[in-house]
Amino acid sequence: MEEKIHTILARAQEALAQSSSSEEIEEIRVRFLGRKGELTQILRGLGELSPEKRGAIGKRANEIKAKIETAIESKIESLRHSKFIRLIDEEWIDVSLNSPATTGGLARGHLHPISHIQYEIEDIFTSMGFTVLDGPEVETDYYNFEALNIPSYHPARDMQDTFWTEDGNLLRTHTSAIQVRGMETHRPPFKVIGPGRVFRYEAIDASHENTFYQVEGMMVDRNISVAHLIYFMKVLLREIFKKEVTIRLRPGYFPFVEPGFELDIHCLICGGKGCSVCKQSGWVELLPCGLVHPNVLRYGKIDPDEWSGFAFGLGLNRLVMMRYGINDIRHFLSGDIRFVSQF
């Protein structure tokens, strides 16, 4: 019987050496170690032997069983390793090769012109010591109107046609709400800007959209004047357009600034001759601005007797239109890939 056990080990090792799949290995395991396997049958016949032979044969049979199990595990690991080597050879990809986008296949993506100019403006202002803030697009009445000196009974609310939600909130009509939140978290002196998307329920034409982008900014310090406002705006426009831009300030009413102004730039689309963008005037209204109203500072828990500041709101869409000579704001939301692909 001991010779038979050694024969089983040799035949199991030979079968494993010739196997090439996990299925074949499983068949070998069942053939030799299963409930009806060859080695199992020998172990079941130990009761017919004398006590002396039973112990020796039983011990030897368990040793052979352990060797067969080890050989099976080794073969499984060898097949697994071979599989990975084969996959590496067959499916290896050289990621250093040129992608389809660079060889005329897939089109290469790029930033939208609004995103590009927003990041550029952020870089310009951060270089002048401003901090970039963010805020929610769905705002409360308090942050969008009340804290900006526009109470519920104020007629100035009619200046901003609004998308209201069923729970009494609204899609923000300007990013000035970010300034209010900034005053709650920053103590003067400070300089902040808040870029983002805003919404107005209004008629759409070549220069007006119901969804567009703004950058609002605020500086609060001691003895701030209109001269500080003009300086920062001229630096911004010079850096954006890479040249000196002709501007004008004209009086404008905004509840959150006093005095308030409209800052216009000489139309860069028509060169001041008159077009649909500038409404034949030669000037484009670019940003409202002014000195921060004392009530707004009070809402931000800032003492207006000690501190003052300026604020402005810049329309990113119109700025992009001036920079790239785009004559219709509706192109931005048209979904026409040919428009975006130009940039």
What percent of the chain stands above pLDDT 90?
A: 32
pLDDT of residue 181: 92
Give the span between the Cα atoms of 326 and 194, in whole angstroms. Answer: 24
Say whether domain 113-340 belongs to CATH 3.30.930.10.
yes
Q: What is the mean pLDDT of residues 187-209?
A: 88
Residues 6+ apart with CB under 8 A from 197: 137, 211, 212, 213
Residue 141: phi and psi, rounded to 5, are -60, -35
Q: CB–CB of 272/266 below 8 Å?
A: yes
pLDDT of residue 103: 56
pLDDT band for position 210 (cuts 50, 70, 90): confident
pLDDT of residue 337: 84
pLDDT of residue 221: 95
Q: What is the pLDDT of residues 275-290, one digit of tens each?
A: 877 788 888 888 889 9
Domain map of the chain by residue range?
A: 2-91, 113-340
| CB neighbourhood size of 297 (10 A) | 21
pLDDT of residue 292: 94
Q: What is the pLDDT of residues 303-339, one digit of tens each?
A: 999 999 999 998 898 888 888 888 888 888 888 888 8
pLDDT of residue 303: 95
pLDDT of residue 232: 92
DSSP string, 44-64: HGGGGS-HHHHHHHHHHHHHH
Nearest to 288 by CA among 218, 204, 342: 218
